[in-house]
Structure 1
Amino acid sequence: MAKNANNKKTKSIEETLWDSANKLRGSVESSEYKHVVLGLIFLKFASDKFEERRKELIDEGKEKYLEIKEFYNMKNVFFLPEESRWSFIIKNAKQSDIALKIDTALHTVEKNNPALKGALPDNYFSRLNLDSSKLAALLDTINNIDTIKDKQTDIVGRVYEYFLSKFALAEGKGKGEFYTPKSIVNLIAEMIEPYKGVIYDPACGSGGMFVQSVKFIESHHGNKKEVSIYGQEYTATTYKLAKMNLAIRGISANLGDIPANTFSRDQHPDLKADFIMANPPFNQKDWRAADELTDDPRWNGYEVPPKSNANYAWILNMVSKLSENGVAGFILANGALSGGGEEYKIRKKLIENDMVEAIVILPQNMFYTTNISVTLWILNKNKKQRTLKLPDTTRKYRDRQQEILFLDLREIGVPFEKKFTAFSEHQIKDIATTYHSWQQEESGYENQPEYCYSATLEEVRAKDYSLVPSKYIEFVNRDEYLDFDKKMAALQGEFSELLKQEEQSKKELLKVFKELGYAIEL
């Protein structure tokens, strides 16, 4: 990062904007003001694109078409009426009714562009009763950002990514579920390679899985027009975030007509996806009433998931959406690896049906909402896949039927934001290479202690269908290598001996006090 004459770090656009936006905090919760900030960034970006297209029309001698929205939409540019343009907002930034003017601008943009239906903040600025001077300062900061100056740099996307992560950090445990840390999303994309076809996320949050899918396609010189994106989100404000996040990057997606519960109101009942990427809520309780969804077609041949925990309901929802050669990569709490009851029966069938391709344990402290270690599951509808041809890669699969790859990444990762862990780009590449090497013919894949192991169906059966990686991967320097029964017996023996010694010490101490003429009780 560049430094100035005083040897201080020059703040990035994202940091400067965050500092300005942070001044809005106080009586306004971060869960609220993120929509204020991201709504304004969206409006500035949409205005910059609009003005750029307007100049093109003037240069082409088409002044008579300047106020016809079709001439903007044809270039994937949102049409902005006069009162919705950034120039109008800045002109009125010092007025006492600026909050109302911003609300009107956003409402008008949405009304004039059907693709934005349900996407933009609705009366946030007026309702929150924001300090006019602080709002004006934020507008000035955003006004200094030329969102389209550098065609090679996704400035607005960068700002969105930065803000979504910072908001998730600010909201802390129990909140911030709208955001999956970027390095986890990157890892899923690099492993399942969603390069062409239908992509689905049943709990899409702010749309991070879709954004990274498109970035993956672009980095491999593919065409983002060759993917179709489908998703669903329950929380209304997060649904708006996702639509804004995708619209600002020019990504078309069907997120359903309204925010809705994936289980009780599936908005894509007939969908068959080639790729599924998801981070559904962990250990969701009471996701259905006792007599609800018991005959749902998504359970197709499997037991009905228990109402006490939705983990396996999410799994079966995704299994039901996979196409003939579909692949799913999703995050779940570790408890799903070895649960009993109906979960055990479903897991056993998934394994016997050869659906489970890989189980990956992630490090602790990767999520902003929980410090627990979680699991990345990869399910594959057809593990004996066709030859895969990305635009810049050809990979011929070996027959890995009846095998499961286990990976333990708990000792991998780099620290960030003091108390969190993330994967570096290099680490993501190495992990994905291990997985793809295991998949390929003549790859030279080998099991590695404390890192990876390819288990046969017979081995998994012998472990009673447990998917806990430490039951398969060899551990030399960590506790997983210990025989816990023997270790516990030894500890019990040591503890018993310590109790005996303590009792003897008490007797000797009492004897000493008695000899000194003191009567005490211990």
Structure 2
Amino acid sequence: MTNSLSPWMLNDYIRLRAYFGEKPFTVEEASKVLERPSDSVMTLLSNLRRHNLVVVALDPENPSKKIYSLRPIPVTRGDLESILKKAADLIRTRVDYSFILVLLFYKRISDQWKLEFEKTRKELVEEGYSPEEARELAKEKFFHQFQIPEEYLWDEVVKHKGELHVYFSQALKKLGELNPELRPIFDNFDFHVFASSKENSEILRQLVELFDSIPLIDTSPDILGDAYEWLLMMFAPEKAKEGEVYTPREVIRLLVEILDPKPGYKVLDPAAGSGGMLIISYKYVEEKYGREEADKLFLFGQEANAKTAALAKMNMYIHGILNHKIEVGDSLLYPKFGLEEWDIVLANPPWNQDGYNEEVLKKNEKYRLIYKYGYTPSQTADWAWIQLMLAACKPAGKVGVVIDQGALFRGGSEKTIRSRIADEDLVEAVILLPEKLFYNTNAPGVIIVFNKNKPPERKGKILFINASNEYEPHPEVRRLNRLGKQHIEKVVKAYREFRDIEGFAKVVSLEDVKANDYNLNVTLYVTSLIETEEIDLEKELQELLELEKQAEEAMKKTLYYVQQVIQALKR
């Protein structure tokens, strides 16, 4: 990574990049672009060369002169993770980690704005505008993803070392006013609160220095997104103690591969959290069909916690995903999405969420349409979430939910709801996950897949998969397990083949499920095979006889030595 690249060098580099890209240029040409004398440009190019950002060669048309070309600024996953780890070490337990993500996001959009500005200014000059006219026009909002006045760019804000919290707060407020899509993000972060003490003000100053060292104009959305996700995962154990739920990305990947979203699909997560379900749905389509096709997805998430929703929205932008909408609100009572509109609905809602009995659920103005199978008890809303997801799903769509295992077999009103949904032949598969996958509980979760349009060969049947042994030790958190790539592939293959696999998967008729009183507990239908070792009886017998022979010889030697001792004592 390029270290200690001063703001003036970065700004000049961006300006040259906008004009020349990676094409060669002369000192005279660079001098004209930067509107500075040649000796000043030579100093700049020498500095950039020391940072390995400039390649020098002889001009083929005039070998007595040199030509220069610019290299992209290299920032790797490791570079970003190193910066974020240092940032995390600075703030741990003292300031909420989400401020790191806000600073990363702010730095990214500022660097991108500068590159957009310089490219636009170049194009306008080429179209015949004067340099002054081009400079003013290039600031207009329709040339930029986000509108950022120059005085609120990162480089300008961080000049105010002693009052960073004041200027960051002003900048976030202004950017929220100018960019309505960013307002839900920036309204949730107050740098005055951040710098509530002298110690925290110093932490903010050090964080700014860290992010100042990473130019982000060439950093791909994939690398930025991975770094963002890495930080979410890093703080997951700590946030789990506060009640926040982080769904392991391997669990999401398994669910997404089973649901198999396609270009043009509308995908909904009514318990969106930090946006992982939606982002991995996008990445899955991108890997399978390409980015252009992935951009045809429409991703919608709703999250009850405003700050968590802000993290989800930033997560989308950091990943370069624009065709999305994140709303704030209680999905069970005030869903901001339409019913029967979504090709795929997936979620890991809060397990055993209390406070959603019949009286409360009837506050939802569409409760008759949504909770038509029954009302959940006050102590757990698991089947309320499932009913909401089914109601939102298109008549030919699929639902996938990660939920507490107890939802499969608890009695009372939950059993009533479960039986009615099963009787409509909506349950397609039930997958038991390994224990210790989640940061907030050691209990094994389950995935339930619902299909409103089962193919004929699957009608009247449910596939049970016991994946309780499909795990490997977590590489970073000693007490946890995780799904490996091979485990995900094995489960997905079993789901797609929809057949019996001894000790792993079993297709069960709906009649058999009814006979078991609508108990969907996976271990009732599939018991994991216990590994057994084949025994060679003849070989074992020979080894036993050999051991007996050795024991007999040892006994003879012992008796001999004892007799010798007795004889010696008699003398």
TM-score of the aligned structures, taking structure 2 as reference length: 0.72
Give, in whole Å, the separation in 2 of the partners of 1:350 and 1:17. 46
Between structure 1 and structure 2, the one with the greater Rg is 2
* Conserved? CA contact 1:147–1:155, under 8 Å: no
- Give the direction of change, closer, same or farther, for the CA distance of 1:470–1:140 in structure 2 (3 Å limit): same
Tell me what 2:149 maps to.
81
Q: Answer yes or no: is 1:109 the counterpart of 2:175.
A: yes
Query: Equivalent of 1:63, from 118, 135, 154?
Result: 135
Give, in whole Å, the separation in 1 of the partners of 2:260 and 2:421. 22
Shift of 1:15: 3.4
Q: Answer yes or no: is 1:235 the counterpart of 2:298.
A: no
Give, in whole Å, the separation in 2 of the partners of 1:123 and 1:277. 28
Amino acid at match of 1:465: Y
Give, in whole Å, the separation in 2 of the partners of 1:108 and 1:119. 12
Give, in whole Å, the separation in 2 of the partners of 1:327 and 1:434. 18
1:286 aligned counterpart, secondary structure: coil
2:458 aligned counterpart, secondary structure: coil
Tell me what 1:486 maps to.
none
Give, in whole Å, the separation in 2 of the partners of 1:289 and 1:404. 29
Give, in whole Å, the separation in 2 of the partners of 1:247 and 1:404. 39
Give, in whole Å, the separation in 2 of the partners of 1:412 and 1:123. 40
Give, in whole Å, the separation in 1 of the partners of 2:304 and 2:120. 41
* Conserved? CA contact 1:120–1:244, under 8 Å: no
Q: Answer yes or no: is 1:306 the counterpart of 2:377.
A: yes
Q: Answer yes or no: is 1:465 the counterpart of 2:465.
A: no
Tell me what 1:13 maps to.
80
Tell me what 1:23 maps to.
90
**Mean CA deviation greater in 334-343 or 407-416:** 407-416
Alignment of 1:368-387 (within 5 A): 368-384=439-455
Query: Equivalent of 2:431, from 353, 360, 363?
Result: 360
Amino acid at match of 2:482: A
2:110 aligned counterpart, secondary structure: helix
Give, in whole Å, the separation in 1 of the partners of 2:436 and 2:267. 28
- Give the direction of change, closer, same or farther, for the CA distance of 1:368–1:238 in structure 2 (3 Å limit): same
Amino acid at match of 1:353: E
Query: Equivalent of 2:461, from 403, 421, 434?
Result: 403
Q: Answer yes or no: is 1:347 the counterpart of 2:408.
A: no
**Mean CA deviation greater in 223-232 or 125-134:** 125-134
- Give the direction of change, closer, same or farther, for the CA distance of 1:35–1:291 in structure 2 (3 Å limit): closer
**Mean CA deviation greater in 157-166 or 241-250:** 241-250
RMSD over aligned Cα, in angstroms? 2.1
Give, in whole Å, the separation in 2 of the partners of 1:368 and 1:121. 29
Q: Deviation per CA, 1:141-171, whole angstroms, max 9, x where unpaired? A: 22222334244x6222011101111121222
Tell me what 2:215 maps to.
146
How many residues align structurally? Answer: 435
Tell me what 1:415 maps to.
473
Q: Answer yes or no: is 1:98 the counterpart of 2:164.
A: yes
Tell me what 2:359 maps to.
290
- Give the direction of change, closer, same or farther, for the CA distance of 1:41–1:121 in structure 2 (3 Å limit): farther
Amino acid at match of 2:307: T
Give, in whole Å, the separation in 1 of the partners of 2:417 and 2:93. 48
1:155 aligned counterpart, secondary structure: helix
Shift of 1:99: 1.1
Shift of 1:172: 3.0
* Conserved? CA contact 2:175–2:183, under 8 Å: no
- Give the direction of change, closer, same or farther, for the CA distance of 1:79–1:299 in structure 2 (3 Å limit): closer
Q: Deviation per CA, 1:392-438, whole angstroms, max 9, x where unpaired? A: xxxxxx62111111111111112221111111223222221221122
**Mean CA deviation greater in 354-363 or 455-464:** 455-464
Tell me what 2:347 maps to.
278
Query: Equivalent of 1:171, from 230, 233, 239?
Result: 239
* Conserved? CA contact 1:298–1:316, under 8 Å: no
Shift of 1:25: 2.9
* Conserved? CA contact 1:169–1:176, under 8 Å: no
* Conserved? CA contact 1:107–1:122, under 8 Å: no
* Conserved? CA contact 2:356–2:377, under 8 Å: no
* Conserved? CA contact 1:290–1:307, under 8 Å: no
Give, in whole Å, the separation in 2 of the partners of 1:298 and 1:242. 29
Give, in whole Å, the separation in 2 of the partners of 1:361 and 1:292. 29
Amino acid at match of 1:155: I
Identity of aligned residues (%): 29
Q: Deviation per CA, 1:206-227, whole angstroms, max 9, x where unpaired? A: 1111110110110002412322
Alignment of 1:38-57 (within 5 A): 38-57=101-120
Give, in whole Å, the separation in 1 of the partners of 2:217 and 2:460. 50
**Mean CA deviation greater in 122-131 or 240-249:** 122-131
Tell me what 1:218 maps to.
286
Q: Deviation per CA, 1:322-375, whole angstroms, max 9, x where unpaired? A: 101110111110110011111111111111111001101111111111111111
Shift of 1:292: 4.9
Structure 1 spans left out of the alignment, 5+ residues = 1-9, 385-397, 439-445, 479-522
* Conserved? CA contact 2:91–2:97, under 8 Å: no
Shift of 1:304: 2.2
- Give the direction of change, closer, same or farther, for the CA distance of 1:11–1:264 in structure 2 (3 Å limit): closer
1:115 aligned counterpart, secondary structure: coil
* Conserved? CA contact 1:39–1:121, under 8 Å: no
* Conserved? CA contact 2:269–2:347, under 8 Å: yes
**Mean CA deviation greater in 128-137 or 223-232:** 128-137
2:181 aligned counterpart, secondary structure: helix
Amino acid at match of 1:310: A
Give, in whole Å, the separation in 2 of the partners of 1:268 and 1:452. 35
The structure richer in helix per residue is: 2
Give, in whole Å, the separation in 2 of the partners of 1:12 and 1:408. 40
- Give the direction of change, closer, same or farther, for the CA distance of 1:49–1:410 in structure 2 (3 Å limit): same
Give, in whole Å, the separation in 1 of the partners of 2:372 and 2:90. 54
Structure 2 spans left out of the alignment, 5+ residues = 1-76, 126-133, 532-571
Amino acid at match of 1:101: Y
Shift of 1:291: 6.2
Give, in whole Å, the separation in 2 of the partners of 1:105 and 1:288. 44
2:91 aligned counterpart, secondary structure: coil
- Give the direction of change, closer, same or farther, for the CA distance of 1:90–1:205 in structure 2 (3 Å limit): same
* Conserved? CA contact 2:117–2:143, under 8 Å: no
Query: Equivalent of 2:254, from 160, 164, 187?
Result: 187
Amino acid at match of 2:428: E
2:351 aligned counterpart, secondary structure: coil
Shift of 1:469: 0.8
Amino acid at match of 2:404: A
